Amino acid sequence: MTTILLNSAMMPDEGLYILRRVSLEFFGELIADAHRRGELQSYVGYAETAQHIERIARVQIPVNRAATQLPDQCLIAICKLKYRVADPSTKGKIQPGDEDYEYFVATYDRNHLRWRIVNDESQSSQAA
């Protein structure tokens, strides 16, 4: 299963997301395993975050500022700051410590929500 690596908890496409907080250790193992399988796609946009993930997973994490593309039924691994950077002009220039990050894993299913909406609309029209 493809693992998408992000530096924020965002939802770039419609679908069903289920999000869970995980430990630093679990997150590092998850990233390392996906990297070994050749199933890791990084959309981490900041070098500082990529370097942090490299330290905990012991694999190379490329910086990628492209628009996030989610394949259907993928896993999303999220390493994000616990806070928002107060001054946007300092983004990419601050040096957060390990304690400044939190970790999440989400599953993503593109078609689940669409099926539910179509099903709900179908039932509504039948009742009318």
How does pLDDT run across 60-105, given as a tens digit for each residue?
999 999 999 999 999 999 999 998 777 777 666 778 888 999 999 9
- Global pTM reads 0.82
Residue 4 pairs with which residues in a beta bridge? 41, 76
Percentage of residues of the chain with pLDDT beyond 90: 69
Query: Taking a C-beta distance cutoff of 8 angstroms, is the pair 64, 83 a contact?
Result: no
Look at residues 99, 98, 37, 32 and name the one whose alpha carbon lies nearest to residue 61. Answer: 32
Domains of the chain: 3-127 (3.40.50.11170)
